[in-house]
Structure 1
Amino acid sequence: MSTEPDHFRSSTSSFGALVRLLKYARGYRRRIIAASACSIINKLFDIAPEILIGVAIDVVVNQETSFVARLGFESAQEQIVMLGVLTFFIWAGESIFEYLFQVLWRNLAQRLQSDLRQDAYEHAQRLDMSFFESRSSGQLVATMNDDVNQLERFLDGGANAMIQVVVTVLAVGAVFFVLSPLIALLAFTPIPLIVWGAFYFQRKAGPLYADVREKVGDLSSRLSNNLAGIATIKSFTAETREAERLREASEAYVTANRRAIRISSAFIPVIRMAILSGFLATFTVGGMMALRGDLNVGAYGVLVFLTQRLLWPLTGLAQVIDLFERAMASTRRILDLLATPVQVHDRGGRDLAETVRGEVEFAKVSFRYANSGEGVSDVQLLVPAGHTLALVGATGSGKSTLIKLLLRFHDAQSGDIRVDGQSIRELNLASLRGAIGLVSQDVYLFEGTVRDNIAYGRPDASEEDVIKAAQTAEAWSFIQALPDGLQTAVGERGVRLSGGQRQRLSLARALLKDPPILVLDEATSAVDNETEAAIQRSLAKIGHGRTVIMIAHRLSTIVHADEIAVIHGGRVVEQGRHAELLAHDGRYAAQWRVQTGAVESGALAIE
C-alpha cells in the first residue's frame, strides 16, 4: 500500500495527466509551439509600456542626460517623439500577437477536442461487449462530450494564462535585477509563498474536481436512462419519484462543485496579502533609495509599475489552477478510456471466400462471463451450409452467448468457431460480420427514415432492392400505409412504429444485406400472432440456400428446423430433429407438451 500523502498523489496525477495529454498531442507539436511563441511575444510587448513610462519619466527629469539621450537623441523633444513612435509599434505588436495567440489556441482547442472525441468514440467501438455491459452509457457520453469540452475550455484560455504568468515572472524579474538587485529580492519575496499557495490549493482541489467529473457522469447517466425509459416512468406514474432521484443526482453535483469552489475561492484573498507585502517593499524601499539618489527616478517608476505587473497577475493563478484541475480531471477520464485495452482484436486476417457457403461449426467452445460466471461449456455443434439450426433452452442457458461468440462480440476462452472451415479468429471482423445478418429480439432502429434503417447495412442500395427486402420481410404493406412511405421518420429508437413493425424492418434490414448466414435471436418472441405468422412466411422464403441459426422459445416456430439443440446450464443436452426429440421424451418433449397444452404449465422442463 502506498504511503504517499493524498495531496502528493493528487498533484502527481494532475501533472501526470498533463504529460499524458502532451504525449497524445505529439501530432499538434508545431501548433502548440506556434501558439506558445505568440503568447510569449504578446506578454513581452504587454509589459514594455510600463518600462517606457519609466523611461519617459527619466526623459522629463533628466532631459539631455537621460538614458535615451545616450542613444543619440539629444533634445528632450526628440526623445519624447522617439518614445511615442516606439509605443505605437509596441501596442501594434501586442495587438497583432494577441490576435495570433487567440486564433492559434482556440483553433488548437477546437481541433484537439474534436480529434479526442473522435478517437475516444472510435476506440470505444473497438472494445468488446463486456466493456459496455459493465459501463453506464451516461458515463461514456459524459466522457466523450462534457469532459472533452472541459479540456477545450482550458486550452481556450488557461494554457495561455499559465504561459504568460511564467513569462511575466521571468521577464519582469530580469528587469528588476538589472535596475536594483535589492528591490528585486524584496519584490520577489512573496513569490515562493504565492507559488506554494498555488500548489497547495491545487493539491486540495485535485480530488475534489475528480469527484465533480464523476458526479457529472452520474447525472448524465440518470438523464439518459430516464429519457430512454420515459414510457415506463409514465406507465407507473413514477414522474415524481424519478424527478426526486434526478434532483438528488443534481444536488450531489452541486455539492461536489461547492466543495471545490470553496477551496479555489480561498486562494485569492490569501495571495492578495502576500502581493501587498511585495508591493509595499518596492514602494517604500525604492522611494527611499530614489530620495537618497541611489536609484534613478525613472527606474523607480519602472519598478513601481512592474511590481504590480509582476504580482497582480499571480492572483489569476486561482482561476488558472481551477481550469487546470477541471481539465486534468477530465483528461484522465478521456485518456483512461483511450487506454482501455481491446480484448477482441481485429488482426486484419484473411477474408472469407468471395462465395461464402455458410457452414458454421462450434468446436468444443467454452466461455464464462467474468462477473456472473455464466456462459457455455464444451459446446460441439455443426451447421452444414444451407441448413437451419434452432437453439432452445431456458433464459440464461447460454443460447445468446453462442451468437455473441459467433459474431466475436466476445472471444471463446477455449475451443474454436469456424465458418467454412476457417477459424473466425483468423478472419478480419468486417469479413466475418459482413457474412452474418442478425435479427435480435431487442430491435434497435436509428433515428431517421424507414429507408435509412432498412438500408443501414447497404447505404448505397437501390430503391428497388430496398422495396424487395421490405416485401420479403412482409413489411412493405405497412410501409406503404405510412404518411411518407419509405421517407417516414421512425423517431428515436423507432418509437413511432409498433413492435411488430420494428421487428419486420429489422428483418428487412438483415435481408437487404443478403448474408449467407442469418441469425434470429428470439425474433418472434415479442410480436403478436399475425406478425409472427408473417415473419414465419418470410423465413420460409429466405431460408432456402442460406444458413439459419435461430433462438426460439415458441417451439412451434422451429418444428421444420434441420437440427434442434437443447441448451441447459451452458451445455448441449439434447440434439436432433423435432420428431427425434419428441421420441427421446426428454426436456424438449416435456416443453412441447407444455406449450401444446398436453400437461399443466407448471411442469416446465426447459424453462
Structure 2
Amino acid sequence: MPHPLVRLYRYSAPHQRQVLSAIACSILNKIFDLAPPVLIGMAVDVVVQRQDSWLAKWGVVPVEQQLGLLVLFSFVIWSLESLFEYLYAWQWRTLAQTLQHELRLDAYGHLQELELSFFEERSTGQLLSVLNDDINQLERFLDHGANEILQVTTTVLAVGGAMAYLSPTVAGLAILPIPVILWGSLRFQRRLAPRYARVREQAGLISARLANNLGGIATIKSFTAEAFEKGRVAEDSDAYRQANRRAIALSSAFVPLIRFAILFAFIAILYVGGMETINGRLDVGTYSFLVFITQRLLWPLTSLGRVLDDYQRAMASTQRVMDLLAIPVQIPSGRQSLPIGQVQGAVQFEGITFAYRDREPSVIDLNLNIPAGQTIAIVGATGSGKSTLVKLLLRFYEPQTGRILLDGIDLRDLKLKDLRQAIGFVSQDVFLFHGSVAENIAYGSFDATQTEIEQAAKLAEAHEFIMDLPQGYDTVVGERGQKLSGGQRQRLAIARAILKDPPILILDEATSAVDNETEAAIQRSLEQITRDRTTLAIAHRLSTIRHADCIYVMDQGRLVEAGHHDELLALDGLYANLWKVQTGERLSDRV
C-alpha cells in the first residue's frame, strides 16, 4: 500500500497548482529569510575593506554608496520575505481548509454508501473520530508542518551550497552533524509511527465510549451507573494518556540530542573559521557571514523533532482517513432508472436465503409474491426473519442466494435512489432528527408545503397532539426526538411516510408504541393510506393486520402458513396459537 503522504498527494491532485504555488512561496520566503546574514557579511566587508570590498569590485567604490546600496538591498529583501510569508501562509491555510472540507464530505459520503453491516461492526464514536479528529489533525499539519519541512530542507540545501562555495573546510564542519541528525530523525520516525498509530486508535476508542454513553444517558441514570461509567471513561482516557505519554517520551528526547550535535559543529566553526581568518585565508566579512549563517543552517534542525512529531500524527490520521475511503462498497447501485411515477409496486422474492455474518440463516429458500396494490402482512415469533425481509427489500443487505424483483426488475439492476424513493418505511425504532416537528415530517420531502405537512399529520392522527406542543409544528423535538413520547414519535414517522406518498409502504410494527385508542385511529387512517398502494406490514399485534389481503406466517426463516385471518385460525396452527396467546386464551413459550 502506498505511503500515506503519497495517497494524500494523489487525493489533492485537483489542487495541484495551489500545492505547487504554496511550495514555491515557502521556498522563496526561506531564501529571502536567509539573506540578512549575507547582508551582514557584506556590511562588515565594506567597513573593513572599504574600497577593496566585494561591492567595490562591482564598480561601487565610494563607501557611502556601498552602504546605501546595502540599505536598498535590505528593504527589497525584507519586503519580498514578508510578501512570500503572507502568500505561503494564505495558500497553505486555504489549502488545509479546502482539503479538510473535501475529505470530510468525501469520507461522509462514502460512509453513506456502505452497507448496514459495516456500521454494525464499528462503533459510531470511532467513525466520528476519523471524520473529526483525524481530519482536523491533517488540517493542522498542512497549516504549519508542510511549510516547516520545506523551509528546513531549503535551508540545508541553500546554506550548505553557499558555505561549500565560500569555504569547503568550514562547510564540512557545518554539514558534519547533518547526516547524524537525519539518521536520528529517521530512527525516531520509525519508532514514533506505531506509537502515534496507537494514539489515534485510543482516540477513536474514547470517542466511541463517550458517544455511546451520551446516547444512553437515560439508561445510565435509571440504573444509577454514573460512577461505573465514569470509571470506564477514566480507564479509556488513561489508556489514551498512556499512549500519548509513550509517544511524548520518545519525541521529547529528540531536540536535546540535536542541540548537542549543533553545539559541537558551532564550536568547531568558530575556532577553525577564526584561525583561517587570522591566517589570511578567509576574509573577515566571509567569516562573519559563516558564523551567522551556521546558526541559520543548524538551529532550524532543532525544530525537526516537533515537525516530525506533527508529521507522524498527521500520517497516522491520513492513513485512517484514506483507509476509510478505500473500503469497497459491497452493495453498489444499479444503472436502470425507474421513475416513481412508473412504479406499479409488484414485489417478488425468489429463492431468497440470507444469513447475517457469523450467524445461522435468518431467511431460508423463501418465495413470496406481493401483487401490486395489495396489503400483505407478515407475522411470526421474534427472530423468525420478518424484519430481515424489509432490509433485503430496501437493499440494506444482499441475499446470499436468490433475487428480489420490483415490477419484474431485479433490484440489483435498479438505481438505489429510485428503489428507495419508491418505498416508504415506518420502523418500530423511530429516528427523529434534532429539529422542528415540521422538519421531521418533511424529511425526504424537502419541498413540501406547510399545508401538505399538516394534512399528512392529520392522516397519521398526529395533528392534535402537535397543536398542543408549545410552538406547534415549530416545536424542536430534541436529539432523536427525546422530548416526545414513543407514540408521538411513531405518529410523526407515519406522517413522514404519508407525505412521501410512495407506491410501496412498509410498516414494521408501526403502531407498537401507541395506546389502543390511538391505534384504532391510526388503523382507520391506514385503511385510507394503503388503498391502491402495495403495503407490507410486519406485526406482532395481530389485531392490526387481520384485514390484510393475505397474511404470511414465518417460523425460523421459512414461510409456514398463508391465508386470510379466518382461514389461518381454522388451520389451528402457528398463527392460531399466536392469536390465542394475544387474546389470552392460551399461554405459549414461543412468543
Distance 1:578 1:418 in 2: 27
The equivalent of 1:277 in structure 2 is 264
The equivalent of 1:449 in structure 2 is 436
Output the amino acid matched with 2:131. M
The equivalent of 1:304 in structure 2 is 291
The one of 457, 471, 477 aligned to 1:490: 477
Deviation at 1:198, TM superposition (A): 0.9
The equivalent of 2:384 in structure 1 is 397
Matched-pair contact (CA < 8 Å) for 1:45–1:90 = yes
1:84-483 to 2 correspondences below 5 Å:
84-352=71-339, 354-483=341-470
Deviations 1:18-75 (A, max 9, x none): 1111111111111110000000000000001011111111111111111111111101
1:29 counterpart = 2:22: no
The equivalent of 2:546 in structure 1 is 559
1:587 counterpart = 2:563: no
The equivalent of 1:604 in structure 2 is 589
The equivalent of 2:57 in structure 1 is 70
Matched-pair contact (CA < 8 Å) for 2:137–2:313 = yes
Deviations 1:107-134 (A, max 9, x none): 0000010100000001101111111111
State the SS of the aligned residue for 1:461.
Answer: coil
Mean CA deviation greater in 411-420 or 466-475: 411-420
Deviations 1:471-506 (A, max 9, x none): 100001111111111111111111111110000000
Output the amino acid matched with 1:31. Q
Distance 1:386 1:477 in 2: 30
Mean CA deviation greater in 77-86 or 532-541: 532-541
Deviations 1:337-376 (A, max 9, x none): 1001001111332224623221111111122212334431
The equivalent of 1:52 in structure 2 is 39
Distance 2:568 2:272 in 1: 103
State the SS of the aligned residue for 1:101.
Answer: helix
Distance 1:573 1:311 in 2: 81
TM-score normalised over the length of structure 1: 0.96
Matched-pair contact (CA < 8 Å) for 2:340–2:421 = no
Output the amino acid matched with 1:108. L
State the SS of the aligned residue for 1:364.
Answer: strand
Distance 2:211 2:362 in 1: 30
State the SS of the aligned residue for 1:96.
Answer: helix
1:571 counterpart = 2:534: no
Unaligned runs of 5+ in 2: none
Distance 2:401 2:81 in 1: 67
Output the amino acid matched with 2:144. G
Distance 2:356 2:362 in 1: 6
Matched-pair contact (CA < 8 Å) for 1:594–1:604 = no
Deviations 1:406-436 (A, max 9, x none): 0111122221111111111111111111110
Matched-pair contact (CA < 8 Å) for 1:69–1:79 = yes
1:525 counterpart = 2:512: yes
Output the amino acid matched with 2:122. R
TM-score normalised over the length of structure 2: 0.98
Q: Alignment length, in residue pairs?
A: 591
Deviation at 1:527, TM superposition (A): 2.8
Distance 1:138 1:408 in 2: 25
State the SS of the aligned residue for 2:12.
Answer: helix
Matched-pair contact (CA < 8 Å) for 2:352–2:401 = yes
Distance 2:551 2:195 in 1: 57
Matched-pair contact (CA < 8 Å) for 2:45–2:53 = yes
Distance 1:530 1:217 in 2: 46
State the SS of the aligned residue for 1:575.
Answer: strand
Distance 2:340 2:156 in 1: 68
Distance 1:298 1:135 in 2: 66
State the SS of the aligned residue for 2:342.
Answer: coil
4+ long deviations beyond 3 Å: none
Matched-pair contact (CA < 8 Å) for 1:591–1:604 = no
Distance 1:368 1:484 in 2: 46
Deviations 1:385-410 (A, max 9, x none): 11111111222221111111101111
Deviations 1:506-565 (A, max 9, x none): 000000000111101112223332332232222122121111101111112111111112
The one of 506, 516, 541 aligned to 2:503: 516
The equivalent of 1:7 in structure 2 is none
Mean CA deviation greater in 211-220 or 32-41: 211-220
Distance 1:503 1:108 in 2: 45
Q: Would the alpha carbon gap of residues 368 and 177 (structure 1) be closer, same or farther in structure 2, given more than 3 Å must change?
A: same
Output the amino acid matched with 2:477. V
Distance 1:374 1:60 in 2: 92
Matched-pair contact (CA < 8 Å) for 1:384–1:547 = yes
Deviations 1:264-305 (A, max 9, x none): 100001111111111112111111111101111111111111
Output the amino acid matched with 1:282. I
Distance 1:125 1:393 in 2: 31
Distance 1:165 1:453 in 2: 54
Matched-pair contact (CA < 8 Å) for 1:352–1:432 = no
State the SS of the aligned residue for 1:354.
Answer: helix
Distance 1:261 1:464 in 2: 61
Unaligned runs of 5+ in 1: 1-12
